[in-house]
Chain A
Amino acid sequence: MATKQQTEQTLPTLDVKLKPFQLRSDKNPDWCPGCGDFGIVNAIQQAVSELQLQPWKVEFFAGIGCSGKSAQYLQAYGIHTLHGRVLPYALGAKIANPNNVVIATGGDGDGYGIGAGHFLHAGRRNVDITYIVFNNEVYGLTKGQASPTLEVGMQPKSLALPHISQAINPLALAIASGYTFVARSYAFDAKHLKQTIMDAINHRGVSLVDVHQPCPTYNDLHPKEYYTETVNSGQSELPRLQYLEETGYNGFVEDASDLEAYQAKKIAAIAEAYRLTDRVVLGTYWKVDLPTYADRLETNIPLLREYAPMDVPFHDDNMIANTDLSSACEEFVV
């Protein structure tokens, strides 16, 4: 259903810019030295600072894993949830109170493994949240078992035997599931990552940012050096990291009501996510403006145009419940 709708994001902002260090909590991260998680949390703090978000209007949810600890490190309402369940928490919070900014984070095992069902269905709903996945191809916190993004045949040092299950393609899966913003970035590309997170927060709808994250402790296949190495293209040495803009690809849907063009673009975006290359391609693969879950709710339930679900009045100033039950009881009256 593609109809004319609001596409502008409205965020609760401050007149002044808080410094990123002011957005650090009092808790010091306990990640291994060199862990990509430092880069991601830094970028999130930078993005919140840059967007001038009111920190107390930010609900920062995380799953369980090394990545999940990030919920403790941003000076905002930080909620460390359950393994694989970060999306239900984030969705529940955003639906109940659309006035807060909801950011969800978690590991690749958390989101694409145990939480895969929620990952898929979050696409269908298009609730206006940003989901940032820390993709290190392993289960860091449980000491390096394979995550669903580890390619078949790979054997990081933590595995006793080569990996014999196939990897999923999170970007393609997200596009197919209905996410309306899908991007890839890299933990130590501070500039690109910060900008991508800002774009995702600015997007009205459900966004996925899949972030490649070195895990120096368990994943020796893709350390930091892998991303700074050059790739031999036959003629020349090219940097490992490539930006989508350089390829001429554009994944932005101009007009979602043109169903044929929309469909074609979606297939092209999935194809782009599957393109074989030795390089790591960063950028926004897919973006489309569709009605959000809140928009659709308002169509079904007009009262919600006036109130957030949690703010629908139900008592008077003396705390006496004042919901009139007559229409709820009508069918039963005898």
Chain B
Amino acid sequence: MSRITETSWMIGGPQGSGVDSSATLFARAMAVAGFWVYGKREYHSNIKGKHSYFQIRASHDVVRSHIDPIHMLATFEDSTAVIHAHEILPEGALIYDPGLTKPEVLEMDASVKLFPLDYEGIIRELAEEEGKPAAKLAIVKNTISVAASLALYGVGVDVLEEALKGLFHGKKSKLVGINLKAGIKAYEAIKAIAHAQDFKYQMQEQPNKPEAESRLLMNGAAACGIGKLKAGMRFQTYYSITPAVDECIYLEQHSEYGIVVYQAEDEIASINMANGAAVTGARVATATSGPGFCLKAEGIGWAGMNEVPTVIFNYMRGGPSTGLPTRSEQGDLLFAVNIGHGDFPKIVLSPGDMEECFEDGFNCFNFAERYQTPVIVLVDKALANSTQSIKKFADQGLRVDRGKRVTKVDSYDPADPSTGLPKFPRFQITEDGISPRPIPGTPGGIHFLTGDEHTEYGFITEEPAVRMQMMEKRARKLLVAANEIPEHLQFKVYGPENADLTIIGWGSTKGAVLDALERFAEQGKSVNYLHIRLMSPFPVDAITRILNNAKQRLIIESNFTNQLAKLIRQETGIDIEHKAVKYTGRPFSQCEILEAVKEVQEKQSRKVVLINGH
């Protein structure tokens, strides 16, 4: 029997029933088995009861996205099978509770193999052995469905044990035993089903197992948080909002770093507290999502006007208004690059995968302090909430840049306090537009800040000449940033040079496109990918050159109005001729990228609308 090297697995259930922990356990087990893993989490804005699901792809090679069809659907209640059974591939597997689900009424391929699992019986047996009430053990059904799935895939029970130990460590380690016992019973139950041995999609053992403990299985929100910790951020403000809150909770759990995570009374307080802390010399950020990002506009403008290095993370969910609170969208790009009234420089970054989350989480503080301007980081929910196995972060030798931060002024003589009093030209006109920035507490550094237009000492002025000088000085910083920020942090081209088709994208789309490029290469199609990370200052010259040299261009993004295409047109004058969008709030699958390219290459479609996923 031939085995496969890559699979797509799904588990679903009502929210609050343990879908997330089952998926985490499965992903961990597949990683322990040596596979590379990618997982996508979909949930409602609801606490208990509504349908949620987690889709996991495991492979011998690195995977960065999901595919639409599934090889195996694991369920422990009825609704998941009803909603998702039609996605199971021919000869795929359905694991279900025969007391709850009737396969004959499901809409699915007739060749799907059925694996009824007597959850109640297993739990009852376990309860008797343990001398505990069965109701107390109901939660092990998550482990039962994962174990049954592993058994079907041909992954050993030793892997389950190790994954359980990884999941339940420290105070929770006492849970390993009971879950393992439940898991072993599930393995036995699957073995007892005769056609289990003939299951078509068993996983071939990984020949190139990565070294144990050499990787991380994590999500984008935590990757951002880790980058920020490395950057020295020890203060973060927020007001609770999905999905930004995930990063805040993660950071608050790591008080050993001395980090203050402050839950403010609202987003206006959050941004302005961050500004206050940044003025005082701290590396500080505020994290939010769409509705909260709107409330921060005035504060971001203040930071721009006063040249204060405040970092703002905006986790993008479906808009407008409360929109799709728990779904993903790349809908805040144009708002972010234009946020705040009036003209002021701002840096806008958007990471596309876990590594870029870490990098941008680290670099945003260097940029904020070097260019003395607010930095906005846009992370789509699909990235924040996805799980992926990655190599450990390259976190050695990273350089901290605090720019022209001043903590000592030479003219100050401690014997004569009046030498600490003179005012300091905080907004001195300089060639690069960047002025020395004394930190409050520094004798001799006294200066003034105001959102009104100001002189170089920070005194309010309405003089036309000073106004012009200050506007120009602030604007110059962005030109300097555009020249200095290393190219690989601005954009990158993946795949063959001089390809027949160039895909352009940003944010989490990167994963699906890179996976698709591998398929194109196999098919002998010549397609490459331009991934853009720096949205402001926009890398005008380089992007213009790349786009002008491209033979055919397709831009893919998950919003309604093709916001990156508009930005590119505004900055370069180039109108990209083929566009693919998705605005269901669900991220792109690898299959959808293939589909979009096919539409463009075969039918010359100008606009493709993608819709997959529940």
Smallest distance from the beta carbon of B268 to chain A beta carbons, Å?
7
Q: Identify which of residues 194-245 in chain B touch chain A, using a CB-to-CB cut-off of 8 Å.
A: 212-213, 215-218, 222, 225-226, 229-232, 234-235, 237
Q: A92-B275, A320-B399 are in contact. Are A325 and B443 (CB under 8 A)?
A: no
CB distance from B106 to the nearest CB of A (A): 34
Contact segment of A164-172, A227-235, A301-309: A301-309
Counting chain A residues whose Cβ lies within 8 A of the other chain, the interface size class is 35 or more
- Is residue B283 within 8 Å, beta carbon to beta carbon, of the partner chain? yes
Residue among B278, B440, B452 with the most chain A CB within 10 A? B440
B150 to chain A, nearest CB (A): 15
B267 to chain A, nearest CB (A): 10
Give every chain B residue within 8 A of A303 (Cβ-Cβ): 255-258
Closest CB of chain A to B219's CB: distance in Å? Answer: 9
Contact of B440 among A87, A91, A93, A329 (CB under 8 A): A93
Question: Cβ of B594 < 8 Å from any Cβ of A?
Answer: no
Are A121 and B265 interface neighbours, CB within 8 A? yes
Report yes or no: B260 in contact with A82, Cβ–Cβ below 8 A.
no
Contact assessment for B448 and A334 in the assembled complex, using a CB-CB cutoff below 8 Å: no
Docked CA distance A77–B449 (Å):
8
- A93 engages B277 (CB within 8 Å): yes
**A155 beta carbon closer than 8 Å to chain B:** no
Question: Known contacts A54-B417, A88-B269, A307-B258: does B441 contact A97 (CB below 8 Å)?
Answer: yes
Residues of A within 8 A of B458 (CB): 78
Cα–Cα, bound, A334→B25 (Å)? 12
Does A181 lie at the interface of the complex (its beta carbon under 8 Å from any beta carbon of B)? Answer: no
Residues 291-334 of A, flagged 1 when their CB comes within 8 A of B and 0 if not, give 00000010011011001011010110001110101011101111
Given known contacts A56-B420, A82-B451, A301-B260, is B400 in contact with A329 (CB within 8 Å)?
A: no
Residue interface mask B426-460, A partner, CB < 8 A = 1: 00000000000000111111111111100001111
Q: Which of these, A71, A310, A333, contacts B448 with CB under 8 Å? A: A71
Q: Which residues of A contact B269 (CB under 8 A)?
A: 85, 87-88, 117-118, 121
In this complex, the member of B169, B217, B280 whose beta carbon has the largest number of chain A beta carbons within 10 angstroms is B280
- Docked-complex contact A75 and B446, CB < 8 angstroms: yes
Give chain B residues whose Cβ lies under 8 Å from the Cβ of A85: 268-269, 272, 299
Given known pairs A79-B449, A310-B277, A325-B393, the reply for A332 and B218 (CB within 8 Å) is yes
Binds B, one of A14-22, A39-47, A130-138, A243-251: A14-22
Known: A85-B268, A118-B269, A312-B257. A93 touches B280 (CB 8 A): yes
Say whether B450 contacts A92, CB under 8 Å: no
CB distance from A73 to the nearest CB of B (A): 9
Q: Does B397 contact A (CB under 8 A)?
A: yes
B519 at the interface (CB under 8 A from A): no
- Chain A 40-80 near chain B by CB (<8 Å), digits 1 or 0: 00000000000000111101010010000101100111111
Interface assignment of A238: CB less than 8 Å from any CB of chain B:
no
What is the chain A residue whose CB lies nearest that of B393? Answer: A325
Is A275 in contact with chain B by the CB < 8 A criterion? no
Residues in A whose Cβ lies below 8 Å from that of B423: 25-26, 75
**Pick the contact of B452 from A80, A310, A327 — CB < 8 Å?**
A80
Q: Does B302 contact A (CB under 8 A)?
A: yes
Say if the beta carbon of A38 comes within 8 Å of chain B: no
Is A16 a contact partner of B282 (Cβ separation < 8 A)? no
Contact A315 B232 (CB under 8 A): yes
Residue among B218, B271, B446 with the highest chain A CB neighbour number at 10 A? B446
A90 on interface, CB distance cutoff 8 Å: yes
Does B281 reach chain A (CB closer than 8 Å)? yes
Interface centre among A59, A88, A117 (most CB of B within 10 A): A88
Q: What's the minimum C-beta distance from B59 to chain A, rounded to whole angstroms? A: 15
Docked-complex contact A297 and B459, CB < 8 angstroms = no
Most A CB atoms within 10 A — which of B235, B276, B401, B421?
Answer: B276
Cα of A283 to Cα of B212 in the assembled complex, Å: 69
B449 CB contact (under 8 Å) in A78, A96, A121, A307:
A78
Question: Which chain A residues lie closer than 8 Å to B265 at the CB level?
Answer: 117-118, 120-121
| A329 lies within 8 A of B226 (CB) | yes
Closest chain B residue to A316 by CB distance?
A: B400
Q: Which residues of A sit under 8 angstroms from B485, Cβ to Cβ? A: none
- Evaluate contact between B276 and A91: CB separation under 8 angstroms: yes
Asked if B279 contacts A323 (CB within 8 A), the reply is no
Q: Is the CB of B421 within 8 A of A334?
A: no
Q: Which of A54, A79, A87 has the most CB of B within 10 A?
A: A79
Known: A320-B398, A329-B216. A81 touches B258 (CB 8 A): no
What residues of chain A lie closer than 8 Å to B283, measured between beta carbons? 310, 314
Across the two chains, which residue of chain A brings its CB closest to B251?
Answer: A328
Nearest neighbor of B32 in chain A, beta-carbon distance: A334
Beta-carbon contact of B215 and A80 below 8 Å: no
Nearest chain B CB to A221 CB, angstrom units:
30
A100 within 8 A of B: yes
Cβ–Cβ contact A332 & B216, under 8 A: yes
Q: Are A81 and B446 in contact (CB under 8 A)?
A: no
Q: Annotate B16-51 by CB proximity to A: 1 below 8 A, 0 otherwise.
A: 000000000000100110000000000000000000
* Contacting residues, chain A, for B278 (C-beta < 8 A): 92
The CA-CA distance from A50 to B149 in the complex, in Å, is 75
| A242 CB–B CB distance under 8 Å | no
Chain B residues with Cβ under 8 A from A268's Cβ?
none
Please name all residues of chain A whose beta carbon is closer than 8 Å to the beta carbon of B459 when the two chains form the complex.
25-27, 72
CA distance A301 to B273 in the complex (A): 20
B75 at the interface (CB under 8 A from A): no
Q: Which residues of A contact B397 (CB under 8 A)?
A: 320
- Cα–Cα distance between A325 and B222 once the two chains are bound (Å): 12
A89 within 8 A of B: yes
Contact yes or no, A25 B226, CB < 8 A: no
A256 at interface (Cβ–Cβ under 8 A)? no
Bound-complex Cα distance A152 to B255 (A): 49
Set A301, A321, A334: member contacting B399, Cβ < 8 A: A321
From residue B306, how far is it (CB to closest CB) to chain A in Å?
Answer: 8
Contact B215 A117 (CB under 8 A): no
A177 to chain B, nearest CB (A): 11
B251 to chain A, nearest CB (A): 9
Measured between C-beta atoms, what is the minimum distance from A253 to chain B in Å?
A: 26
When A93-B277, A100-B280 are in contact, do A56 and B446 touch as well, CB less than 8 Å? yes
Q: Is there an interface contact between B31 and A14, defined as CB atoms closer than 8 Å?
A: no
A150 → chain B closest CB, angstroms: 25
Q: Could you tell me if A25 and B448 are in contact, using CB atoms closer than 8 angstroms?
A: yes
- Residues in B neighbouring A307, C-beta threshold 8 A: 258
Distance in angstroms from A299 CB to nearest chain B CB is: 11
Residues of chain B within 8 A (CB-CB) of A57 are: 440-441
Q: Does B284 contact A (CB under 8 A)?
A: yes
Question: Which residues of B are found within 8 Å of A190, using beta-carbon distances?
Answer: none
| Bound Cα distance from A319 to B282, whole angstroms | 16
Residue in A89, A320, A328 whose CB lies within 8 Å of B276: A89
- B443 and A96 form a contact (CB under 8 A): no
How long is the Cα–Cα vector from A307 to B169 in the complex, in angstroms? 30
Please indicate the chain A residues that have their CB under 8 angstroms from the CB of B31 in the complex.
334
Q: Is the CB of B302 within 8 A of A81?
A: yes
Could you show 10 A-B contacts with beta carbons less than 8 Å apart?
A14-B417, A59-B279, A59-B440, A89-B275, A92-B273, A92-B277, A95-B262, A117-B266, A314-B232, A333-B215
Closest 6 CB pairs of A and B: A92-B276, A314-B232, A92-B273, A303-B258, A310-B282, A89-B276
A77-B445, A88-B268 given; 9 more Cβ-contact pairs under 8 Å: A18-B421, A56-B443, A61-B276, A92-B273, A93-B440, A96-B280, A96-B284, A301-B259, A319-B402
